[in-house]
Amino acid sequence: MSQTQVPQRRTPRWSRFKSSRVLLLMCLPAIAFFLVFNYAPLPGIWIAFTDFNYRDGIFGSPFIGLRNFEFLIKSGQLWLLTRNTILYNVAFIVLGNALQIAIAIMFNEIRLKYFKKITQGIMFLPYFISVVLIGVIAFNILNYDNGALNALITQAGGDPLKIYSMAGLWPLIIIVVQLWQSTGYGSIVYFAAIMGIDKGLFEAAAIDGASAWQRIRFVILPSLKPTFIILLLFSLGGIMHGNFGLFWNLVGNNAQLFQTTDVIETSVYRMVMSQNNFTTSTAVGLYQSLFGFAIVMTANWIVRRMNKDYALF
Amino acid sequence: MHSSETATGATRAIVLPTRKRGLFERERTRPIKLDASDRWLRGISYTTITLFTLFCLLPFVLIVSASLSSESAIRKTGFGLLPKDFSLTAYEFIFQSPRQILGAYVVTVVMTTLGTAIGLFIISMTGFALYRQDFPYRNAISFFIYFTTLFSAGLAPTFLWVGKTLGLRGSYLAVFLQLLITPWLIILMKNFMRTIPYEIVESGKIDGAGDFRIFWQLTLPMMKPALATVGLFLALAYWNEWYLSSLYLGSTVEFKPLQYYLYNVINTANALQNSVAGANVSISDLPSNTLKMASAVVATGPILLLYPFIQKYFVSGITVGAVKG
Amino acid sequence: MKKRTIVKISAALVALGLSATALAGCTAGVSGDSGAPTKITMLVLGDKPTNGRLEAMLKKLNERLKKQANATLDLFYVEWADWQTQYNVQLLSGDSRVDLITTATDWLFGWENAQKGAFLPLTEDMLKQNAPKTWAQVQKDGHWGLTKFDGKIQFIPEDNYTQYTNHGFFYRGDWAKEAGFPDGTITKYEDFTTYFQWIKQNKPDAVPWDVAGASNGEATLTGYMQSHTDALPLQGVSAGNYAPFETSQENPGKLTSWYMESDQLVKAAQLAKQWNDLGVWRQDAVNYTGVTRDEFYAGQSGTDQHHTQTFIGQIYNNMNTKQPGSDPKMYAFGQENKNLYKDILTHGAMAVSANSKNPDKALQVYDLIRNDKQDYDLLNFGIEGTDYVMKDGKLGYPEGYDPSKDALGSNFWAGRMDQYEPPKVTDDPAAKQIYGDLDKVARDYPYSTLVVNKSAIDPELAAMGSVLSEYIPQLEFGKFDDPAAAIKEMRQKLKDAGYDDVKASVQKDLDSWAKTHKVK
């Protein structure tokens, strides 16, 4: 708005504040929450630059600059780890969302009431099963000596596979397990979004003689676009974070698989496992955050250019 | 707000005559003719969903049957779909000191219900404010909230602040408060609100209602799927949480939240076998595999009953027609 | 009116007077002997028991402690599932929740935490005044030097308790006999190949040596090294989960690393490969998470690996009950070439938290639980009659007692005393003889007081840890087709990670330590 001479108005800032008092108040609990639990601890990140000891606390301990970050580089693994982490996350995001959308759409087609209730209830199950148990089950299915998979293969006349020695298979295995665990849970968002689509649109489409596929393509998918973009932008922020529990419990110390399955968190964990070290984990977290931050800012800027509405901020 | 393309590419909002029931429209099966593609889609949907459900169910079946098997059978031949050498020993062991599990249940249920209720309230309130296009600070606050997902202080700094400075270590509040709100849920709520026609807000303003009243009386009832989704996620987050409990509670409380209690049981053996402690300490009577599985069943089972109850809220809650009518 | 005012004033004065005397009374006792008993909390590791026996025992114990020191004891558990995080988080929290902290210099980061200021340095006066018996006993044996850092005493050693935690293989004497070993005793490391082969051929239901996870399989390398060289590992320096540096008995001033420099590593890896090809362990042992000790007890595994204390306290009894006639035996690594070590005296140690509000009282309580027989018995064994019974001078259990359900779980490992530890009914009766045999062969571990300056080399150590964790699990399970080539690769990577700098730095620390300490 250009500053033409509009007379007798109070400072726009004050009247803006006054008129949105209530809304501001409604945001207050959330703002307070984030201030207390997220922003207030941030100065503590300083610990990543110190040789921390309990006596002096975070700000009293000696400053050592970037020394805590050196091990990432010295291990020679940084590129491999970054690549693995990002690739896995991209796969999780793309395949995960695609699968979740597909499942949500299909659920929308289900008409049998009890079938729907039961299946939707069951689909949450994987979310609850602890990754530790998943590791045990995966071992039981995939192991060479008495695994169910090899039992099937030998019955069919083939040679049993040494799956735990075949690095190439593991991206597939890990992605399948991750999808197994999170698809049901994630599809709910999309399902609720579909529920929110104006019924009139469906009826209009029906009147227009749209086929099922056209209905999906022209009514459902566009309505899900905002949700997808938001989910995408959110996931991008965490793109440098690996799902530690999943990788650690499936792969563990099996170095034969590291080439294709090692991510930042698992590698760091092994490196500092028997040390008593908070500075390292904070340093690594900082590295991951900075990276993710850069990616998200870029992505959000791109999205904003395309459609202002969809950007996160 | 609604610029969805219809099949013919033109934007229109055709309103079929609906029975007026205020702002609510119950989902009804309309006698729409199904063409071949619809039947195909339906067929594919049923098949895929069935397969997917079995896929989700399978490991759980393995867990249940393992929990009902005898340890020696499991050691020899691994897991199977049916219990091997049926035995209830694992469950007997768990329930012989039911106090711990019952206490864990009570703690978790209380935290979950309170947390979901309060959290849902705050989240929807905030989401509403952010959705209001006439709210001048919405972008700033959105960024403020979103930024927290990009930079997290990490374990040590957060712990020092929350546990030490705020003194919440050893208190259930350390866990309860930190799960109350997440940025993701706020943004999600705001996104869901897009489906509410802005006219409702405007008509409310015209009627002279205050912002909170518009929120509470006008928009909230239209957001059943949104509230159900966010509420569900909140409840699941509270139910499933163990990490914060391990950091802030540990053994300082008598009753651990359920999943943390479970984690203790199933990870003890792993932790010992993979750390220096194992070489130095001789531990006997580690939880067996069957015990781990039985604990998982006991800790997970009940939450499954939650979804059927809220499933009824996942219905279409609005039509444009109702407003215009 | 006036009268009332006077009454009021006098009442106020009386109240003031009373509170003044009360206050005076509070500060009267230097060690707080008047007033409510002080609660002292001790941090121990282990799972918190839930069968109520601990509470019952503490009630009795605290009755005594109240009379003896006007204090009560409570235990704070750091549970196994997440112990590293929780132990460190407790120290990080800096709260006064715990007064006494169980520590160890070889595996519980004793020195690191002392350096970081987690412990309260104990002065001679403090100890003499509050823990006189402990002070005197440790002083007599000349062991305070073992716990000093920066000239100050950091913790109290568990130095009057005989234990051997040297590692080895447990095996079945009955199967060894059938495999052709005279008297079912295996005396050479390589002989295990024959033993494993026999099991593979004759016991199809059993895995010759079932191992779960990389940490438990390290013996194929470290056990071999210990049995074939005179390497003396430095416990204080670790890269990831591995202790990479050793000196040798021949040349104790010279630092070396058998991961990096020894030919024996190649031989060990080749033997491991041979064992792998033989099928000694599961194909996927690295990822296996079963409880292999239970399998040993169930006859599904022919070998188990851990230390002497486990053998004496658990293996012997369990095998004879669950597998009668199995004649369990132990082959200790280093027994052939006399390369074994007595336990360091700070394998268990008790520190006082730097944030404790009652350090003096804490020391008093410690002195009691360590030196007073009745307090000791209560804390370690429980209530006589319900938790244990004495049978002919041996400690046994009452009828119907099931250790998996009824254990006391007090886990006091930082102040046990030989004179109060009766032999247990479940112990190997040959325990004394085993200790005697070991005593003849075992040397004293010299490096328990060596504190290495880690900040100079932490990044490189972490990088080395990464390289080692990439190669060692595969080497130890014999998964490389060409172990020698893999070792060469690993060594190059270690070099790239900064091995030489680390070695120089640790050598420097070793040299300056050697000026004031002699290695026998």
Q: Of C305, C293, C309, C308, which Cα lies nearest the Cα of C421? A: C309
Cα distance between residue B84 and residue A44, in whole Å: 53
Burial of C178 (0-12, 13-18, 19+ CB in 10 A): middle
Contacts of A259 in chain C (CB under 8 A): none
* pLDDT over threshold 70, residue B97: yes
* pLDDT over threshold 80, residue B232: yes
Cα distance between residue B246 and residue B169, in whole Å: 11
* pLDDT over threshold 70, residue C24: no
Chain C, window 117-146: residues with a beta carbon less than 8 angstroms from a chain A beta carbon: 117-118
Q: What does the angle CA C444 – CA C446 – CA C450 come to, to the nearest 5 degrees? A: 155
Chain C nearest C-alpha distance from A177 (Å): 16
Identity of the residue in C51, C205, C310 whose CB atom sits nearest the CB atom of B97: C51
Residue A250, Cα to own-chain centre: how many angstroms? 18
Identity of the residue in A58, A128, A192 whose CB atom sits nearest the CB atom of B228: A192
Q: What does the angle CA B193 – CA B238 – CA B244 come to, to the nearest 5 degrees? A: 120
> Could you give the percent of chain C with pLDDT greater than 70?
93
Higher pLDDT, A20 or C13: A20
Residue-level pLDDT at B152: 83
> Do the bridges between strand C38-45 and strand C303-307 make them parallel or antiparallel, or are there none, so unpaired?
unpaired
ipTM more than 0.85?
Answer: no
The set of chains that have 3 or more CB pairs under 8 A with A is B, C
Please compute the mean of the pLDDT values over residues C190-199 and round it to a whole number: 95
Cα distance between residue B189 and residue B181, in whole Å: 12
* pLDDT over threshold 80, residue A99: yes
In this structure, the number of other CB atoms found within 10 A of the CB of residue A115 comes to: 14
Residue-level pLDDT at A312: 63
User: Per-residue confidence at C190, pLDDT binned at 50, 70, 90?
Assistant: very high
Any chain C CB within 8 A of the CB of A58? no
Higher pLDDT, C30 or B158: B158
* pLDDT over threshold 90, residue C214: no
In this structure, the number of other CB atoms found within 10 A of the CB of residue C259 comes to: 26
- Report whether A260 contacts A167 (CB < 8 A): yes
Identity of the residue in C77, C80, C309 whose CB atom sits nearest the CB atom of B271: C80
Residue-level pLDDT at B17: 47
Chain C, window 318-357: residues with a beta carbon less than 8 angstroms from a chain B beta carbon: 318, 347
What angle do the packed helices A221-237 and A170-195 form, to 10 degrees? 130
Cα distance between residue C507 and residue C200, in whole Å: 45
List, as one string, the DSSP characters of B91-139: HHHHHHSHHHHHHHHHHHHHHHHHHHHHHHHHHHHHHHHHH-TT-TTHH
Any chain A CB within 8 A of the CB of C113? yes
* Greatest Cα pair distance in chain B: 77
Q: What does the angle CA B153 – CA B157 – CA B161 come to, to the nearest 5 degrees? A: 115
User: Mind listing the pLDDT tens digit for each residue in B109-133?
Assistant: 999 999 999 999 999 999 999 988 8
Nearest CA in chain C to B98: C50
Nearest CA in chain C to B242: C82
Check the CA dihedral A249-A253-A255-A259 and report its sign.
positive
Any chain C CB within 8 A of the CB of A136? yes
Higher pLDDT, B71 or C487: C487
Tokens of C478: 């014999």
Nearest CA in chain A to C237: A275
Side chain identity at residue C181, one-letter code: F
CB contact under 8 A, C241 and B100: no
* pLDDT over threshold 70, residue C229: yes
Identity of the residue in C238, C289, C467 whose CB atom sits nearest the CB atom of A136: C289
Please compute the mean of the pLDDT values over residues B243-272 and round it to a whole number: 87
Any chain A CB within 8 A of the CB of C497? yes
Residue-level pLDDT at B19: 47
Please compute the mean of the pLDDT values over residues A306-313 and round it to a whole number: 71
Identity of the residue in C287, C354, C463 whose CB atom sits nearest the CB atom of A254: C287
User: Per-residue confidence at B25, pLDDT binned at 50, 70, 90?
Assistant: very low
Averaged pLDDT of chain C: 89
* pLDDT over threshold 90, residue A8: no
Any chain C CB within 8 A of the CB of A244? no
Phi and psi based region of residue A13 (left: phi greater than 0; alpha: psi -120 to 50; beta: remaining): alpha
Residue-level pLDDT at C13: 54
User: Mind listing the pLDDT tens digit for each residue in C82-120?
Assistant: 888 889 889 988 889 999 999 999 888 899 899 899 999
